[in-house]
């Protein structure tokens, strides 16, 4: 029983579908923000349900999406394993709920496009947790690049090495995850580059995927744990891309997104191998100005922003049309036929 989309004089009532690691992190961010009411939780694991309920004691506990949709909610936050995202998002949208979905929105372009079509048809607000856009570092970098502050961007260098890799088995099953480090980490990198540059067309993609040191054939039965790719954009800009799980990286994580232009450079880089702390530097020749630095509580900002827009009565936002464009690039990195 969804409520009609409308300007809300009260806090939106939200249901959470999946409260594993990231679901609980986003639930806590929303609860702390006070912007929404955490009204219901659907989670099959008793342990995860208990931990989530500790964060939202007033929330009704239900077993599955079908029961969640019986609750009087404005929106549903999806944080289940990746293979479930597209179907669950489309079901919730078709029943009139706004949706905030974890990345990836779908395992490929076809799935991501189908969700967009469902959101457009239902005219409901759809958000995806492209959380790195909301770091202070990227919030400083993106407007400078888009306003021409570093001149003509000739190159983008994207890196995300997670020296641990996921600790849950479903991430390593291509059916359940849609792929390895590319869809897990690379989705953020490709999104950051295209979003910062205004979503130009990607005209050429070359890639190399590996698992345990071995180059992978087309349509492999295992997921990749290391990927290198070069994307050529219609503007002539060349994007270099590297990501991995369990790389001998010498630190927990190596994360960076650097934009090099004719008049300067801008880069987000992680601090001392941290997954969470970033600096942004504005480079001019050999000089470097720090334009963003820790501490920055960025992780829950995307979901809080979506909830705020929901409270303001927003419906389908055409900016969501961008999400499948990232999925299309990932398909090309995987060498999949893009429909
Ligand atoms: N935006 C980001 O930066 C970011 C970061 C981490 C993870 N993620 C994404 O979030 C998703 C979840 O990742 P995670 O690490 O939290 O995984 P997880 O395995 O810890 O959590 C998934 C949860 O979903 C529950 N679940 C499974 N089937 C369900 C169903 N049918 N209905 C309701 N709940 C169900 C599981 O019991 C589990 O608690 C993944 O798609 C991942 O890619 C995004």
Rounded to the nearest angstrom, the distance between the alpha carbon of 20 and the centre of ligand 1 is 5
Same domain, 83 and 122: yes
Q: Calculate how far, in angstroms, residue 266's C-alpha sits from the geometric centre of ligand 1.
A: 32
Number of domains in the chain: 2
Residue 329 lies in a domain: no
Here the CATH number for the domain that contains residue 50 is 3.40.50.720
Same domain flag for 124 and 207: no
Do 252 and 194 belong together in one domain?
yes
Looking at the fold, whether 87 and 146 belong to one and the same domain comes out as no
Both 164 and 275 in a single domain?
A: yes
Q: In what order do the strands lie in the sheet with 264-270?
A: 214-215, 202-211, 226-233, 238-245, 153-162, 253-261, 264-270, 278-284, 287-292
Distance in Å, CA 4 to ligand 1 centroid = 28
Position 1 in a domain:
no
- In this structure, is residue 119 part of a structural domain? yes
Long-range (24+ apart) CB contacts under 8 A made by 21-26 are: 22/79, 22/102, 22/129, 23/48, 23/52, 23/77, 23/79, 23/80, 23/102, 24/48, 24/51, 24/52, 24/55, 25/299, 25/300, 26/77, 26/79, 26/129, 26/299, 26/300, 26/303
52 with 154, same domain?
A: no
CATH number for the domain spanning 209: value is 3.30.360.10
In a domain, 338, yes or no: no
**Bond prior to 101 in cis (omega within 30° of 0):** no
113 Cβ closer than 6 Å to some ligand 1 atom: no
Domain shared by 144 and 117, yes or no = no
Cα 145 to averaged position of ligand 1 atoms, centre (Å): 33
Nearest CA to 91 out of 170, 6, 17, 176 is that of 17
Instruction: State whether 143 and 285 are in the same domain.
Output: yes
Same domain flag for 291 and 144:
yes
Q: Choose one of 23, 112, 173 to mutate for the ligand 1 pocket test, by most ligand atoms within 8 angstroms of C-beta.
A: 23
Supply the range of the domain harboring residue 35. Answer: 13-130+300-318
pLDDT, position 219: 85
> Are the beta carbons of 283 and 149 closer than 8 angstroms?
no
pLDDT at residue 5 in the model: 57
| pLDDT per residue of the chain (339 residues) written in tens, 0 to 9 | 667 655 555 799 999 999 999 999 999 999 999 999 999 999 999 999 999 999 999 999 999 999 999 999 999 999 999 999 999 999 999 999 999 999 999 999 999 999 999 999 999 999 999 999 999 999 999 999 999 999 999 999 999 999 999 999 999 999 999 999 999 999 999 999 999 999 999 999 999 999 999 999 988 999 999 999 999 999 999 999 999 999 999 999 999 999 999 999 999 999 999 999 999 999 999 999 999 999 999 999 999 999 999 999 999 999 999 999 999 999 999 999 765
User: Ligand 1 within 6 A of 102 CB?
Assistant: yes
**What confidence score (pLDDT) does residue 337 get?**
76
Same domain, 263 and 307: no
The answer to whether residue 60 is domain-embedded is yes
Distances 250 to 52, 164, 180, 271 between C-alpha atoms, Å: 34, 11, 21, 13
Ligand 1 neighbourhood includes 103 CB (under 6 angstroms): yes
In a domain, 327, yes or no: no
Q: Is residue 336 part of a domain?
A: no
**How far does residue 170's CA lie from ligand 1's centre (Å)?**
10
* Ligand 1 in reach of 18 Cβ (< 6 A): yes
Ligand 1 atom with the smallest distance to the CA of 168 is 19
State whether 195 and 259 are in the same domain.
Answer: yes
Q: Ligand 1 centroid to 223 CA: how many Å?
A: 18
Residues 176 and 276 occupy one common structural domain: yes
- Domain-embedded: residue 326: no
Nearest CA to ligand 1 atom 19: 20
């Amino acid at each position: 029983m969804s409520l009609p989309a409308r300007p809300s004089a009260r806090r939106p009532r939200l249901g959470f579908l999946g409260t594993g690691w990231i679901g609980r992190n986003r639930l806590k961010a929303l609860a702390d923000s006070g912007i929404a009411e955490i009204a219901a939780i659907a989670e099959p694991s008793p342990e995860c349900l208990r931990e989530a309920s500790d964060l939202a004691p007033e929330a009704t506990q239900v077993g599955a999406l079908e029961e969640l949709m019986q609750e009087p909610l404005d929106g549903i936050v999806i944080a289940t394993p990746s293979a479930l995202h597209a179907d669950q998002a489309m079901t919730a949208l078709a029943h009139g709920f706004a949706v905030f979905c974890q990345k990836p929105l779908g395992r490929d372009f076809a799935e991501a496009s189908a969700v967009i079509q469902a959101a457009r048809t239902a005219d409901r607000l759809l958000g995806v947790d492209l959380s790195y856009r909301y770091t202070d570092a990227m919030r400083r970098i993106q407007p400078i690049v888009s306003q021409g502050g570093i001149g003509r961007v000739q190159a983008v260098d994207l890196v995300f090495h997670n020296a641990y890799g996921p600790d849950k088995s479903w991430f390593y099953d291509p059916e359940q995850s849609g792929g390895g480090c590319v869809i897990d980490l690379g989705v953020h990198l490709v999104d950051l580059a295209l979003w910062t540059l205004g979503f130009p067309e990607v005209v050429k993609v070359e890639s190399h995927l590996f698992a345990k040191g071995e180059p992978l054939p087309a349509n492999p039965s295992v997921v990749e744990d290391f990927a290198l790719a070069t994307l050529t954009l219609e503007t002539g800009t060349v994007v270099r891309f590297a990501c991995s799980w369990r790389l001998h990286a010498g630190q927990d994580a190596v994360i960076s997104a650097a934009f090099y232009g004719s008049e300067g450079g801008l880069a987000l880089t992680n601090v001392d191998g941290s997954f969470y702390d970033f600096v942004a530097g504005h480079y001019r020749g050999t000089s470097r100005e720090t334009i963003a630095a820790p501490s920055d509580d960025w992780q829950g900002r995307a979901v809080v922003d979506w909830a705020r827009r929901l409270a303001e009565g927003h419906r389908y936002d055409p900016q969501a049309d961008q999400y499948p464009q990232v999925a299309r690039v990932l398909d090309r990195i995987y060498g999949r036929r893009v429909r």
